[in-house]
């Protein structure tokens, strides 16, 4: 890996069979085990995602995982990728991450997102006894969160007198998540760094999104240069054939998600059995999704990552690796780091 490119782990806490992770009884413990494995490998950050009512992912409370992983590691920054702010009070999120930053000085990142991280049933349950929040409130929520953490809400703001304990010197590093450009200008205007999730929609993810972020930053009069991160789906193995087989679990999961399915993660072998019954259009869809991922040997993955980093003008790449087998997932991150 070129020295100037930093690698970050984005962990969606996939639900692996427990027999593939000795010593781990559930997905939460597997996230901690993966973080421990990645900490000495040179990864810059370790971010955890938020999902609700999912048979595939088991990370509904990123703040708890952040605390556990930061306690179990020494070198990486640890954060959320991200907190789905539409479900929460900005004041409570500010309190939680301020405390995390106090416990783990200069190691905590707070990434926030606009998406619900689940279906409408989950959103309804999260908001009860009130209705789900209007998505149009997200910009105000994000601005309020930043103002609370930095202690600079306008004097006429109704919450300007709020104090967040404990008092710390370095607040959590603030990031906004986006996938198709809708949040880029907002992140720039608010003075937040931008993490661009190419793995969600490679077809609609382009370098111009970072340019819109930069423009919003400049128009708002912020000084310095914002940080930018590109998040990709990556699968690394000893051979290209092994890597493609490994990636099949995630490719098929995305196909089923697009079709409205919500099944658990299939093994690579089960995915290949399903492919035998694909129609030509289904096979074309499978190959198209696969083409948007970084898949191959360490050398092949390195070349693809360097190409993407150059194209998007970033020096940090986050990698999300969703596999059926926990051991194969750990090995993928080990090979990628090497």
**Is 288 part of any domain?**
no
**Is 305 part of any domain?**
yes
pLDDT at 71: 98
**Is 287 part of any domain?**
no
**Is 126 part of any domain?**
yes
How far apart, in Å, are the Cα atoms of 189 and each of 37, 276, 330? 37, 49, 38
Of the candidates 216, 248, 263, the one whose C-alpha atom is nearest the C-alpha of residue 324 is 248
102: domain CATH number is: 3.20.20.30
**Is 285 part of any domain?**
no
Answer whether residue 230 shows pLDDT above 70. yes
Beta bridge partners of residue 48, listed in sequence order? 11, 80
Mean pLDDT confidence for 215-225: 95
**Is 159 part of any domain?**
yes
In angstroms, the CA 166 to CA 172 distance is 13
**Is 254 part of any domain?**
no
Establish whether the linkage from the previous residue to 123 is cis, with ω within 30° of 0.
no
Beta bridge partners of residue 11, listed in sequence order? 48
Contacts of 80 (CB under 8 A, 6+ apart): 47, 48, 49, 50, 62, 63, 66, 97, 109, 110, 111, 112
| pLDDT per position as a tens digit, 232-256 | 999 999 999 999 999 999 999 999 9
| pLDDT per position as a tens digit, 42-98 | 999 999 999 999 999 999 999 999 999 999 999 999 999 999 999 999 999 999 999
Average pLDDT across the chain, whole number: 95
Looking at the structure of the chain, the number of domains it has is 1
The torsion angle over the Cα atoms of residues 41, 46, 52 and 55, rounded to 10 degrees, is -10
Instruction: Output the six-digit token pair for 333.
Output: 């991150």
**Is 255 part of any domain?**
no
Angle at 209 between CA 299 and CA 222, to 5 degrees: 115
In angstroms, the CA 92 to CA 90 distance is 6
In angstroms, the CA 322 to CA 319 distance is 10
Range of the domain at 32: 6-242+297-337
Of the candidates 45, 48, 72, the one whose C-alpha atom is nearest the C-alpha of residue 61 is 48
pLDDT at 259: 85
pLDDT at 171: 94
């Amino acid at each position: 890996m070129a020295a100037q490119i930093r690698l970050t782990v984005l962990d969606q806490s996939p639900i692996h069979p427990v027999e593939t992770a000795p010593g781990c009884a559930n997905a939460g413990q597997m996230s901690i085990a993966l973080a421990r494995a990645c900490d000495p490998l040179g990864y810059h950050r370790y971010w955890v995602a938020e999902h609700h009512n999912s048979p595939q992912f088991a990370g509904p409370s990123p703040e708890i995982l952040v605390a556990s992983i930061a306690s179990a590691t020494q070198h990486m920054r640890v954060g959320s990728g991200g907190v789905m702010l539409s479900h929460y009070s900005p004041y409570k999120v500010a309190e939680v991450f301020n405390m995390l930053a106090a416990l783990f000085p200069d190691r905590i990142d707070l990434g926030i997102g606009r998406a619900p991280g689940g279906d409408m049933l989950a959103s309804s349950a999260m908001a009860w006894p009130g209705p789900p929040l209007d998505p149009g409130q997200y910009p105000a929520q994000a601005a309020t969160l930043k103002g609370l953490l930095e202690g600079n809400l306008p004097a006429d703001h109704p919450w300007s007198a709020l104090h967040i304990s404990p008092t710390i010197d370095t607040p959590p590093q603030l990031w906004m998540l986006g996938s198709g450009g809708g949040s880029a200008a907002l992140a720039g205007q608010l003075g937040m760094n931008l993490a661009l999730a190419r793995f969600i929609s490679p077809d609609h993810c382009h370098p111009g999104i970072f340019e819109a972020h930069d423009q919003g930053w400049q128009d708002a009069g912020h000084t310095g240069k914002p940080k930018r991160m590109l998040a990709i789906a990556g699968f690394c193995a000893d051979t290209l054939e092994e890597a493609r087989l490994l990636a099949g679990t995630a490719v098929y999961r995305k196909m089923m998600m697009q079709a409205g399915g919500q099944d658990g993660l299939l093994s690579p072998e089960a995915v290949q059995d399903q492919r035998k019954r694909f129609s030509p259009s289904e096979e074309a869809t499978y190959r198209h999704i696969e083409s948007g991922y970084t898949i191959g040997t360490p050398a092949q993955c390195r070349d693809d990552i360097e190409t993407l980093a150059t194209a998007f003008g970033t020096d940090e790449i986050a990698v999300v690796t969703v596999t059926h087998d926990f051991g194969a997932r750990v090995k993928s991150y080990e090979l990628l780091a090497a």
